[in-house]
Structure 1
Amino acid sequence: MRYAQGGGLTDIGRAARERVRLQAVTRFQGGQKNRDIAATLRVSERSVERWRRQWRERGEAGVLSKGSPGRPRLGEAQIARLERELERGPLVHGWADQRWTLARIKTLIGRLFHVSYTVEGTWLLLKRHGWSWQQPARRAIERGDAAVEVWKKETWPRVRAPRRHVTAGSSSRTKPGSR
């Protein structure tokens, strides 16, 4: 069985994978060879070898799924509280400006819930709950769009360096007759 593009299995996929493992256990008990089990269950021989080793060491419990390694560490109530706190803004939480960064959100999660996330893990958590990154447009409040257009048309052409005109046959490396 192949994992879905981009990562691990869903709960349904994990349950299906566990059924395959339990079928393998039944075949271990029947004395079948790894190669035959792998072909019948359509899995790799290495997986069957690993399952058999786990079965020998810990019995059927050794072959069962341990659950999703990426299961969220925050419950739904905590996520709801985090969203409320994010809506209150960074100023309320002690930052000097109104920008939420992943590092700040990571710190906020640590302060609120005593749970540590990486910056990347914070981004995955937010993305999973429908948040997206946004970068504010940086424009001065005092900006006058009409004055900017006038500056572009009148001042900028005088300020910028004139371009070199290249004509056919001219080269910056050689001059005619310099060889």
Structure 2
Amino acid sequence: MTEVWRPRLLTRQQMEERRFAALPFLRDRTLSSTVLARQFGVAPTAIRAWRQRLAQGDSLEATRSTGRPAFLTDEQVAELMDIIRAGPDPQQYDDGRWTTARIRDLIGRKYGVWYDRDWVGKLLVRWGFSWQKAEKRPLEQKTEQIDEWLEAELPVLEKKDRRG
């Protein structure tokens, strides 16, 4: 017998197709669960479970996997995105930037849901926000004076460097 390649993981739709392919054989009680299990690449307990579902009048269709329910509603997420786009309250955060810790506190205070800071970052990406890094420079830096110095002093220093 030639060995047939089978993927390790099947999608829900592929598993459903396999159950439907086994359907005519499941109704034939002369075939054992072990024989059918080998034929369809499943455990004999799966064949027995499929037969039991059919006996109870259930279908072999794939069930919907909903996952864990979201803690925030769509309306709350939309409101939160508007707040984030508007920027933080300048009286509360004088540097004018959001951090994941600050957004976590906002969500916790406003909606009573306390996410982990790392998860807040993943949520922000899911909601279409991108990670930004604040520019590191002194607040009292005067760019005009720096530009004047670069134009006046830097060429003199570069000439000295070439001579030395």
TM range (shorter): 0.5 to 0.7
2:38 corresponds, among 18, 35, 40, to 35
Deviation at residue 123 of structure 1 after TM alignment: 1.8
- In structure 2, relative to structure 1, the CA distance for the partners of 1:103 and 1:157 (3 Å cut) is farther
Structure 2 partner of 1:143: 143
- Percent identity, aligned pairs only, is 26
Unaligned runs of 5+ in 1: 4-12, 39-47, 163-179
Written as runs of structure 1 = structure 2, the 5 A alignment for 1:90-169 is 90-91=88-89, 94-139=92-137, 140=139, 142-144=142-144, 145-155=147-157
Cα contact 2:36–2:44 (8 A) shared by 1: no
Unaligned runs of 5+ in 2: 1-6, 28-32
Q: When the two structures are superposed, what TM-score results if normalisation uses the length of structure 2?
A: 0.57
- Distance in structure 1 (CA, Å) of the matches to 2:76 and 2:87: 17
Deviation at residue 82 of structure 1 after TM alignment: 0.4
The alignment yields a C-alpha RMSD, in angstroms, of 4.3
Partner AA of 1:52 in structure 2: A
Summarize deviations over 1:2-52 as a string: whole Å, max 9, x none.
87xxxxxxxxx75x25634753884894535323212xxxxxxxxx34982
Cα contact 2:37–2:47 (8 A) shared by 1: no
Summarize deviations over 1:102-150 as a string: whole Å, max 9, x none.
1211221222222232223212211122111122334555222232354
Pairs aligned (count): 138
When structure 1 is superposed on structure 2, of 125-134 and 112-121 the one drifting more is 112-121
Structure 2 partner of 1:81: 79
Structure 1 partner of 2:4: none
